[in-house]
Amino acid sequence: MCESIVYLIEKTEEPFMRDVIFVNVEGNQIKLRDIMGVEKIVYGEIVKIDFINHALFIRERS
């Protein structure tokens, strides 16, 4: 499978969301959806995507 783990940098080393299969960016709004259909919205910017380790790193902004 190709699900990703999302981390909020500068917050904690713990994952913000696991098993993410959908990411949509509109301006500073990042909408995430996991394999169960649970959605979360983060306001910020994607600073790094690690395709090998299936990880997405977001810096939150107000």
Query: What is the rounded distance in angstroms from the CA atom of residue 62 to the CA atom of residue 43?
Result: 6
Shortest CA distance to 8 belongs to which of 40, 53, 51? 40
For position 35, what pLDDT does the model report? Answer: 97
- Count of structural domains, the chain: 1
Q: Which domain holds residue 51?
A: 4-60
- Mean pLDDT over residues 11-36, rounded? 95
**CA 52 – CA 62 distance, rounded (Å):** 30
Report pTM: 0.91
Per-residue pLDDT tens digits for 28-59 = 999 999 999 999 999 999 999 999 999 999 99
pLDDT bin (cut points 50, 70, 90) of residue 1 is: low
Gap between the Cα atoms of 15 and 8, Å rounded = 7
51 versus 12: the higher-pLDDT residue is: 51
